[in-house]
Structure 1
Amino acid sequence: MIEKLFWISVVVVGYTFAGYTILLAIIVLIKRIFSSTKLPMPNPAELPEVCLFVTAYNEADCVVAKVENSLQLNYPKEKLKLLWITDGSDDDTNSRLEKYPEVRVEYLPERRGKVHAMNRGMQFVDSPFVVFTDSNTLLSPDSVQKLIRHFQDERIGCVAGEKRVFKGSAENMAAAGENLYWNMESILKQFESELSSVVGVVGELFAIRRDLFVPVANNCLLDDFQISMGLAVDGHRVVYESEAVAWENGSQNVREELKRKSRIAAGGLQAMIKMPALLNPFRVGWVSFQYFSHKILRWTVAPWCILIAFLSNFLLVFFATGNSLELIYIVVFALQLGWYLFAFVGFKAEGAIAGNKLFYIPYYFTAINYATIKGLFRFLKGKQPVTWEKARRA
């Protein structure tokens, strides 16, 4: 029984964090042999009007940088509308935005959360395409053009941009770990997009057709995921554009990153309950397989399997002597011990070790899986308000 638990856990963890990507790569490489398409950039004169949509709460520190970045985007000025929804903000966010007549600001004094602000703000959008972006992210110059060109294909309802993290100081393990995480996610998202659809987008940068927007419930925790995957359920493709980049500072430290990851995990569980159709292959095809492999396993089973793999391995080493696989169990247990030792050193020395991957990778990986388990209990207790405290960024 213990051996079965060990091997099942190892297989689940291995498939979730490595095997799925490898399998997807093989399928996509085979697909590339039989089909290859290059998407042309549209003629600038034929570019459609776009609304660059930002929801912000007390973002005075980054307002100027964000607006200046938006005004410098390589998109016809007369066709790029800037809309900020600043509900509840009581700092200098609105006063700083007043200096930019190009920006339309809609404000209510009551703070009711990002989703409420987004749903309310969409009534002010009359452009055929909407690009959602965060106030604390900077966009690459051609990002809007790169996103919008995909809508030449009528089957596409949503386009995901790529998130990148500024590493910042070498001592910031959270930023270094987050940067590595998103580099790996980018590869995975590219494969998913080529196969069928990306499983979820990042709120820092994504675009949709205005007429396909459906308001999400005000208690939604992962609005970007539910908006994009709702389109997939309705039969629209969600594709990935690696050349449309949103840059963001990493979390101030891993403890701050835990806040964000546990919130995402809670939101993932909420989405699972609200969107059961994503697991129906007869309705969404390949997306069902991708959703299960990329999200369901990460949000539910894999973190627990990491714990089970360690505990069962311990029992096999110390209480199952004479087993024909005893040497394998000893080696695997030694590797696990080493991994958690490095993670512990990373935890104790955070901010003192100059970006050494031997420490920040085990620490970050262990921390985000702990955060996933924490997010489960957070969701079950219902202790996730829609007006959550944001993780502090470096």
Structure 2
Amino acid sequence: MSAAISFLFFFCLFLVFYTYIGYGIILWIAVKVKERFMPPKKPELLEILPEVTLFISAYNEAKVIDAKMENCLLIDYPEDKLKIYWVTDGSSDKTNEVLAGYPDVTVLFQPERRGKTAAINRGMKSVTTPVVVFTDANTMINKGAVKEIVRAFTDPRTGCVAGEKRIAVKEKDTASSGGEGAYWRYESALKELDSRLYSAVGAAGELFAIRTALFEEMPEDTLLDDFILSLRIAKKGYRIAYCKNAYAMESASLNMKEEEKRKVRIVAGGIQAVRRLLPLLNIFRYGWLSFQYISHRVLRWTITPVALFLLIPLNIALLLMCATPIWLYQLFVAGQIVFYLLALLGWYLAHRSIQSKLLFIPYYFLFMNLNVFKGMVYLKNFKGNAAWEKAERQY
């Protein structure tokens, strides 16, 4: 009996380690080996830039439109080749009134709100440029972002380009900004390595681009439109390039309650995406893409959180059974207790501004994994309405 429990304990431990640390190590080694024999080529400089559509889906974003438009107008790209589209379906504030002050902007509006995916499906019917860049109303992109993204498309194998998401952190952070900022720095490093090995695994809606010809309408109940859209393109044999020189700056969630809204919805969307992208689990057909997809995404949204929270009860069971070597299980349980105590301290300080961002990491890690279970419940009760409540941000 103890042997079976011991096996399960070490399997869970391996799963947690592999998902959050081991995969990154393997990825780093694989990239170094690959680039030793196949040095990466720099994207070509384009003499003639293609026309690009900057596509912004917005719902009741009147308070950020002027700042977003100022940001858009500062983009370093020929004015006659950059079209700006706003899809504002269902907006009931002054969003459309504010946008009316920008005559060079195309505004697509309908009174009915059916969610972001439906807005993208509808808006894409009007896009005529070969490249479309998606960005959110509340994120600011760097001046050279569009040129950097367009350069990445000089590789014919590239069907999608993922920009980098950055969280604006302060000298003294709350748990939401400190934890989210640390998480996205780690995510960005993994995405870059994924891209260098074969393909990034999905794109974040704050900033990404696709070849317009590769767009396919998505079911309107899709929760993670950016992820589904980008992975569908990868499924066709194209790669998702990661472009760290094109980035979107976004404020962190106002607090952990607002961050929880976001995380639960994202996890629900991730599990929904795993169901809808089942063929990508076939590593014999999709090779490296499947390996990266399973390691970087699928495990996080499915069995790894279960394994994480099984570790403590399994560890205690082994101690009660006096499994050998007993000192090893004592060491493991002591390490887990320390980790959970640090997370508890992070929870206590969640609504306070302090300088030590490290205290937020254990709390945010557990917070993310707990929200996987809440995401499962959310998806189980999901009635197909993809219009979701926005998380309030720090401004």
Q: Could you state the TM-score of these two structures normalised by the residue count of structure 1?
A: 0.96
| 8 A Cα contact 1:39 1:149, kept in partner | no
Aligned to 1:204, which of 206, 215, 232? 206
The alignment partner of 2:388 has SS state of coil
Aligned to 2:218, which of 195, 216, 230? 216
Are 1:301 and 2:303 an aligned pair? yes
Partner of residue 185, structure 1: 187
Letter in 1 for 2:226: D
Report the alpha carbon displacement of residue 353 of structure 1 after superposing the two structures with TM. Answer: 4.5
Report the alpha carbon displacement of residue 282 of structure 1 after superposing the two structures with TM. Answer: 3.5
Report the alpha carbon displacement of residue 315 of structure 1 after superposing the two structures with TM. Answer: 2.0
Aligned to 2:13, which of 10, 13, 32? 10
Report the alpha carbon displacement of residue 111 of structure 1 after superposing the two structures with TM. Answer: 0.7
| 8 A Cα contact 1:176 1:355, kept in partner | no
Partner of residue 342, structure 1: 342
Partner of residue 279, structure 2: 277
Q: Deviations over 1:176-200 (max 9, x none)?
A: 1111111111111111111111111
Report the alpha carbon displacement of residue 136 of structure 1 after superposing the two structures with TM. Answer: 0.5
Deviates more, 1:259-268 or 1:80-89: 259-268
Partner of residue 74, structure 2: 72
CA distance in 1, matches of 2:358, 2:151: 41
Letter in 2 for 1:177: G
The alignment partner of 1:392 has SS state of coil
CA distance in 2, matches of 1:355, 1:175: 12
The alignment partner of 2:77 has SS state of coil
Letter in 2 for 1:329: Y
Partner of residue 50, structure 1: 52
Report the alpha carbon displacement of residue 56 of structure 1 after superposing the two structures with TM. Answer: 0.1
CA distance in 1, matches of 2:284, 2:331: 43
Aligned to 2:165, which of 163, 167, 175? 163
Q: 1:279 to 1:29 in 2, by over 3 A?
A: same
| 8 A Cα contact 2:43 2:155, kept in partner | no
Partner of residue 374, structure 1: 374
Letter in 1 for 2:214: L
Gap regions ≥5 residues in structure 2: none
Report the alpha carbon displacement of residue 301 of structure 1 after superposing the two structures with TM. Answer: 0.7
Are 1:22 and 2:25 an aligned pair? yes
The alignment partner of 2:162 has SS state of strand
Q: How does 1:259-338 map to 2 (within 5 A)?
A: 259-317=261-319, 319-321=320-322, 323-338=323-338
| 8 A Cα contact 2:176 2:254, kept in partner | yes
Partner of residue 42, structure 2: 39
CA distance in 2, matches of 1:307, 1:382: 25
Q: Deviations over 1:234-290 (max 9, x none)?
A: 111111101100000011112211111111111111111111121122332200011
CA distance in 2, matches of 1:285, 1:324: 40
Partner of residue 351, structure 1: 351
| 8 A Cα contact 2:163 2:203, kept in partner | yes
Report the alpha carbon displacement of residue 155 of structure 1 after superposing the two structures with TM. Answer: 1.4
Q: CA RMSD in A?
A: 1.3
Q: Aligned pairs, how many?
A: 391
Partner of residue 250, structure 2: 248
Q: How does 1:144-163 map to 2 (within 5 A)?
A: 144-163=146-165
Aligned to 1:138, which of 133, 137, 140? 140
CA distance in 2, matches of 1:339, 1:384: 38
Identity %: 45
CA distance in 1, matches of 2:88, 2:355: 36
Letter in 2 for 1:265: V
Gap regions ≥5 residues in structure 1: none
Partner of residue 196, structure 2: 194
Report the alpha carbon displacement of residue 225 of structure 1 after superposing the two structures with TM. Answer: 0.7
| 8 A Cα contact 1:233 1:283, kept in partner | no
User: Which ranges of 4 or more aligned residues in structure 1 deviate by more than 4 Å?
Assistant: none
Q: 1:383 to 1:173 in 2, by over 3 A?
A: farther
Aligned to 1:108, which of 110, 114, 118? 110
